[in-house]
Amino acid sequence: MTDDYDLQRFVAAQAGAYDDAIDILRRGAMCTPYMDFIFPRLVRGADDEPYALASLDAARAYLDFQPIGNRYRECVETLFKLVQSSAREVFGDEDAQKLHASLTLFAEASNEVLLRSVLITWFDNLVDEDTIVRISQYS
């Protein structure tokens, strides 16, 4: 598989942090420094977004690229075990917004029930409107 979207940067970033990140998430919290490379979002145009994805195609490639695609799904599945909490309780205000943007991007990029289900459960089936607008701009 070719790496047209430089997805190896996520593999490298997660190499020393993923086990810690998933352990923290399983305990009902998330570490802010891990958010961008565990739950990537669509680029907002800022130059300081090394882990932002540029398109729906890049998000699809991310889900197909191993091991990061399966890790994303593992983190999303972990969210279901935290259903008694809210996104803000687990992530804090800013990171909950980042999570919402990430889930919206990947739900739009795939037909995976898992990703849509988390939007239903954690965000009352509402998408992140800013992400939807940017998707239409980049399409």
Q: What's the predicted TM-score (pTM) here?
A: 0.94
By the 8 A CB rule, do 27 and 18 touch? Answer: no
Q: Name every residue whose Cβ is closer than 8 Å to that of residue 89 and which is 6 or more positions away in sequence.
A: 28
Residue 139: its pLDDT value, please? 63
d(CA 43, CA 49) in angstroms, rounded, equals 7
Alpha-carbon distances, residue 106 vs 6, 58, 89 (angstroms): 17, 10, 22
- 78: domain CATH number? 1.25.40.380
| Tokens linked to 7 | 């997805």
pLDDT given for residue 128 in this prediction: 97
pLDDT at residue number 45: 75
* 130/106 Cα distance (integer angstroms): 14
> Domains in the chain: how many in total?
1
- Pair of tokens at residue 138: 């980049």
pLDDT score of 1: 58
Q: Which residues contact 58 (CB under 8 A, 6 or more apart)?
A: 5
Which residues of the chain are under the pLDDT cut of 70?
A: 1, 46-47, 139
Query: Is residue 36 in some structural domain?
Result: yes
User: Which domain, by its residues, includes 123?
Assistant: 8-138
Sequence-distant (6+) residues with CB within 8 A of 98 are 35, 36, 39, 41, 91
- Six token digits for residue 88: 């803000």
Per the domain annotation, does 121 fall within a domain? yes
Token pair for residue 75?
């983190």
Indicate whether 3 belongs to any domain: no
SS3 state at 22? helix
Report if residue 2 sits inside a domain.
Answer: no
**Does the residue 19 lie in any domain?**
yes
> How far is Cα 117 from Cα 32, in angstroms, rounded to an integer?
23
Residue 1 lies in a domain: no
